[in-house]
A and B are shown apart, each in its own frame.
Chain A
Amino acid sequence: MSSTSNAPTGNNRVRIVVATSVMLTFISYWRAAAVILNDLGSSAFYAGGIAEQAIGKSAPWFVLGVMLFAFAVRAVYVESCSMFVRGGVYRVVKEALGGTLAKLSVSALMFDYILTGPVSGVSAGQYIAGLINDTIAIADAHGWVPAAIHRIFHGTPQVGENATAVVFAVAVTLYFWWQNIKGIEESSEKALWVMQITTVMVVMLLGWSFFTLLKVGGHLPPFPTLANIHYTDESLGFWKHSKLPHMFGILGLIIGFGHSVLAMSGEESLAQVYRELAHPKLKNLKRTAIVIGVYSFVFTGLVSLLAVMLIPDNVRMKVYSDNLIAGLAMNMVGPQVLRLAFRAFVVVVGFLILSGAVNTAIVGSNGVLNRVSEDGVLADWFRRPHKRYGTTYRIINLIVGLQLFTIIVSWGNIYTLGEAYAFGVVWSFVFKTISMLVLRYRYKGVRNWKVPPNLHLFGVEIPIGLASVGMVLLSTAIVNLFTKSVATVSGLIFSIVFFAIFTFSEKVNRRKHAHSLAQMKEQFQLQQAESVERETVGIRAGNVLIPVRDYNTLNHLKWVLDRTNPREQDVVVMSARISQYGTAAYGLSTEQVFSEYEQTLFTRAVSVAESFGKKISLLVVPARDPWSAIAQTAHNLESSAVVAGVSSKMTTAEQAFNLGSAWEAIPEPKRQFLLQIVAPNGNVDTFRIGPHTPTMKNEDVVLLHRLWLKITREPGLENVHHHDILTEALTRFEKDYGAHEREGICEELRLRADADPMPIRRIADQIQTVQPGPNRPDRDDGYRSDGPPTPDGDSSE
């Protein structure tokens, strides 16, 4: 055993390597753009309607202005990411303005994140309710609704749009609450799929709208002058009795801009996906920014403009204010049935993207609260993992509780929700941009890109571009404080309550942490490492990696320790600390990664190892996805086997498939290894991860041998080997599969699979199942032979 293993050091402390870099699988800029657009693009479904309700028919110009200005805000995010890999609001504000303002900015960001859920859920519900009502109305116009139903409903049956929206939003929120409690994994694949379908809808919508404009003509909305901006009492808030909004033209523009600013919510996601972008990171970030900028400008901006041009004034705000795209679909030229079908498609797309935004809201809020709680500003009580699923269920419960409260209090009023939403959006941008301005003078580290233009006067840099963006945001945010009374009151109450919770928790935690840190330092010696390497952990190749999560289920560790000889093989116990989107966007310190929970977990693991009298190495790895973390760690540590416990959520075959998929994502060159999954009753399922010699059936071996016998009788082929025949057969198979015989081959394989069913398609092939045997040594050296493979051989074969 290497001297740097886990063994208690000279002062009896156990060494633990804590990796501080989150293990991520990198994604292309298209996927990154899809992830962001799932949030940013969803606002197209409601932003235009909310803006027009507030300021009248000239609203689309403001929405277009906001989408144009969003390009400049994006430049601020690109600069922050060029300085910090995790360049989110919290990190940047903390760096520039200190912990207090960072807590305040996170409170505003939380308001934004938490409201994303209700706004999106209610909006999707409004689209569904609108479709139901219009379909019934059309059916009634054709005389398809029986008179008896008419009598019951005293006319055409209609569902209450707000009540339906509330029921739908509550149902979707509860669905994603349960998914998050179970710990569903975020997938850029799913986001890309949703955006592909959305793009089909956007292309059809724009094409059909322009065709309609050519056929029936249309007028541009009135330009945003003081005379054309029509305020309501609600849109002036605290200024409803003031003369100021009617005196100044430019103030009218700021008010209109402030009522449209929610169209660019979701920009923060740019900082959060940056960590996961593939090389070259900065260039790909710029590409992502361009894609999302152009897409949201075309989608949100043009849809708002076309809605005013095509939907008649008498129905636009009266019928379609909460489902503007549906109104657009119903006012195209063409047969009614086709328009209704397209509207149904709009509703399906709206359901997909808006439901996705509900999930993003929960995941994002959970990520941000996890991050701040790791920083000690939220009580540890919130972070206690779920007994079965290991998720931070108390934080998820808190977020979802607040979201359900918001949905019910608003009673499906999308306008109120949208107005409040803008508070969080604009103030988190303000904090971010002001912090970036401060960092222009305070930050001395690497900065690969700056928002242009920058003037140099007497050796002092004047960041004109950054200051300009900041001035627009700050003036809008201040005016919003006066004109959006609901947002100001609810946003301030929310932010102050969260700020108070953060500040109080921080004080309590500081005392508590000082005590537990002292205790931890007595027991463990933390060694920080940027990445996981075999040399850092101090182990030999061919080791066994044991992922652990729950300190109550360490049977697989006992199973390994019962079967390994520490002189031959090192045992590494690893805990993957799961960081979600929000968390991955921020820097992690050793204390954040190695929390009280990991301390308890490793204390148990060490005591199990001590009961066997064997040494183990300990490792904590932050990760977005546990499978990627295990696969990458096994690869980096050159492990010969990974031994895991049985999951409560999936079968062993599914566990193997997930690990196999994660292994596939690792760049070449990579090593294969065995996965052994130990059940509580001692049953062990063994899988090979990565390409390997398949298990051959006896009849296939016989067939191969028979062919070999025949072929070696051919002149000039006497020296052919069995493997030559296999190579020739596979080469021909590949050619046939790639050509015209693909369907036939697939059909035959399906028949074969039906005749010999396997649990799932797998990248990892199951090779054998080890049954629990008598608990006695069966090797000469006293170690059982049914354990993990040793560095020199494979005991499971």
Chain B
Amino acid sequence: MSLSVLLVKILEFMFVAGWAGSVIVLLLTGYEDVGTLLDRKDENSH
């Protein structure tokens, strides 16, 4: 396996693993965001 192929494999792994983790980030922060949006008691809209 050439060096460039190895580099591409590493980059592909980083991208896929990164996206998998980012989807979890999106789900968790999205859940939290719903709570933030529903909690309007201290909202200041001036």
A residues with a Cβ closer than 8 A to B are 28, 30, 68-69, 71-72, 75, 242, 244, 248, 250-251, 253-254, 257, 278-280, 283-284, 286-287, 290, 451-453, 464-465, 467-476, 478-479
Query: In the complex the two chains form, is B22's CB within 8 Å of A468's CB?
Result: yes
A474 to B10 CA separation, bound complex (whole angstroms):
11
A65 nearest in chain B by CB position: B19
A249 nearest in chain B by CB position: B12
Query: In the complex the two chains form, is B24's CB within 8 Å of A471's CB?
Result: no
A279 to B21 CA separation, bound complex (whole angstroms):
32
Query: In the complex the two chains form, is A72's CB within 8 Å of B22's CB?
Result: yes
A467 to B39 CA separation, bound complex (whole angstroms):
30
- For residue B36, give the distance in angstroms from its CB to the closest CB of chain A: 5
Q: Which of B10-36 contact A (CB under 8 A)?
A: 11-12, 14-22, 24-26, 28-30, 32-33, 36
User: Which residues of A have CB within 8 Å of B39?
Assistant: 283
- For residue B7, give the distance in angstroms from its CB to the closest CB of chain A: 8
Known: A283-B36, A464-B24. A28 touches B44 (CB 8 A): yes
User: Which residues of A have CB within 8 Å of B11?
Assistant: 251, 254, 475, 478-479
User: Which residues of B have CB within 8 Å of A468?
Assistant: 17-22, 24-25
- B5: CB under 8 A from chain A? yes
A230 to B12 CA separation, bound complex (whole angstroms):
19
B20 nearest in chain A by CB position: A468
Query: In the complex the two chains form, is A452's CB within 8 Å of B29's CB?
Result: yes
User: Which residues of B have CB within 8 Å of A470?
Assistant: 18
Query: In the complex the two chains form, is B36's CB within 8 Å of A278's CB?
Result: no
User: Which residues of B have CB within 8 Å of A475?
Assistant: 11-12, 14-15, 18
- B8: CB under 8 A from chain A? yes
Partner of A72, one of B17, B25, B36, B45: B25
B35 nearest in chain A by CB position: A286
A250 to B19 CA separation, bound complex (whole angstroms):
12
With A242-B4, A469-B18, A472-B15 given, name 14 new contacts (CB 8 A): A28-B46, A69-B19, A244-B8, A257-B15, A278-B46, A286-B33, A452-B25, A452-B29, A468-B17, A468-B25, A471-B21, A472-B18, A475-B11, A475-B15
A479 to B22 CA separation, bound complex (whole angstroms):
19
Partner of B37, one of A250, A287, A451, A469: A287
User: Which residues of A have CB within 8 Å of B8?
Assistant: 244, 248, 251
A103 to B25 CA separation, bound complex (whole angstroms):
30
> Could you jot down 9 A-B contacts, CB within 8 Å?
A244-B4, A244-B5, A280-B42, A467-B21, A468-B22, A471-B21, A472-B19, A474-B14, A475-B12
Query: In the complex the two chains form, is B24's CB within 8 Å of A453's CB?
Result: yes
- For residue B35, give the distance in angstroms from its CB to the closest CB of chain A: 10
Query: In the complex the two chains form, is B14's CB within 8 Å of A472's CB?
Result: yes
Partner of B28, one of A284, A452, A469, A473: A452
Partner of B21, one of A251, A286, A287, A464: A464
A650 to B39 CA separation, bound complex (whole angstroms):
44
A469 to B24 CA separation, bound complex (whole angstroms):
11
User: Which residues of A have CB within 8 Å of B19?
Assistant: 69, 468, 472
Query: In the complex the two chains form, is B37's CB within 8 Å of A71's CB?
Result: no
- Interface centre among B28, B29, B42, by most chain A C-beta atoms within 10 angstroms, is B29
A244 to B45 CA separation, bound complex (whole angstroms):
52
Known: A251-B12, A283-B36, A452-B29. A465 touches B24 (CB 8 A): yes
A250 to B37 CA separation, bound complex (whole angstroms):
36
User: Which residues of B have CB within 8 Å of A453?
Assistant: 24-25, 28
- For residue B6, give the distance in angstroms from its CB to the closest CB of chain A: 11
User: Which residues of B have CB within 8 Å of A284?
Assistant: 44
Partner of A471, one of B15, B28, B29: B15
User: Which residues of B have CB within 8 Å of A465?
Assistant: 21-22, 24-25, 28
User: Which residues of A have CB within 8 Å of B5?
Assistant: 244
A27 nearest in chain B by CB position: B46
Known: A468-B17, A472-B18. A75 touches B29 (CB 8 A): yes
Query: In the complex the two chains form, is A72's CB within 8 Å of B26's CB?
Result: yes
Query: In the complex the two chains form, is B15's CB within 8 Å of A254's CB?
Result: yes
Query: In the complex the two chains form, is A250's CB within 8 Å of B12's CB?
Result: yes
- For residue B5, give the distance in angstroms from its CB to the closest CB of chain A: 7
A773 to B31 CA separation, bound complex (whole angstroms):
71
Partner of A472, one of B22, B24, B37, B44: B22
Query: In the complex the two chains form, is B36's CB within 8 Å of A286's CB?
Result: yes
- Interface centre among B15, B20, B26, B33, by most chain A C-beta atoms within 10 angstroms, is B15
Query: In the complex the two chains form, is B36's CB within 8 Å of A290's CB?
Result: yes
User: Which residues of A have CB within 8 Å of B36?
Assistant: 283, 286-287, 290
A248 nearest in chain B by CB position: B8
User: Which residues of A have CB within 8 Å of B33?
Assistant: 286, 290
User: Which residues of B have CB within 8 Å of A28?
Assistant: 44-46
User: Which residues of B have CB within 8 Å of A473?
Assistant: 18
- For residue B28, give the distance in angstroms from its CB to the closest CB of chain A: 4
Query: In the complex the two chains form, is A476's CB within 8 Å of B15's CB?
Result: yes
User: Which residues of A have CB within 8 Å of B20?
Assistant: 468
- For residue B2, give the distance in angstroms from its CB to the closest CB of chain A: 10
- For residue A56, give the distance in angstroms from its CB to the closest CB of chain B: 20
What 5 A-B pairs come out closest when comparing CB atoms?
Answer: A468-B21, A471-B18, A472-B18, A475-B14, A250-B12
- For residue B20, give the distance in angstroms from its CB to the closest CB of chain A: 7
User: Which residues of A have CB within 8 Å of B25?
Assistant: 71-72, 75, 451-453, 465, 468-469
User: Which residues of A have CB within 8 Å of B46?
Assistant: 28, 278
Partner of B12, one of A242, A248, A278: A248
Query: In the complex the two chains form, is B12's CB within 8 Å of A469's CB?
Result: no
- For residue B43, give the distance in angstroms from its CB to the closest CB of chain A: 8
A452 to B24 CA separation, bound complex (whole angstroms):
8
Partner of A250, one of B15, B26, B28, B45: B15
A451 to B45 CA separation, bound complex (whole angstroms):
27
- Interface centre among B21, B26, B30, B39, by most chain A C-beta atoms within 10 angstroms, is B21
Query: In the complex the two chains form, is A68's CB within 8 Å of B26's CB?
Result: yes
- For residue A620, give the distance in angstroms from its CB to the closest CB of chain B: 30
Query: In the complex the two chains form, is A71's CB within 8 Å of B26's CB?
Result: yes
User: Which residues of B have CB within 8 Å of A467?
Assistant: 18, 21
- For residue B23, give the distance in angstroms from its CB to the closest CB of chain A: 9
- For residue B14, give the distance in angstroms from its CB to the closest CB of chain A: 4
Query: In the complex the two chains form, is B22's CB within 8 Å of A69's CB?
Result: yes
A280 nearest in chain B by CB position: B42
A244 to B14 CA separation, bound complex (whole angstroms):
17
User: Which residues of A have CB within 8 Å of B21?
Assistant: 464-465, 467-469, 471
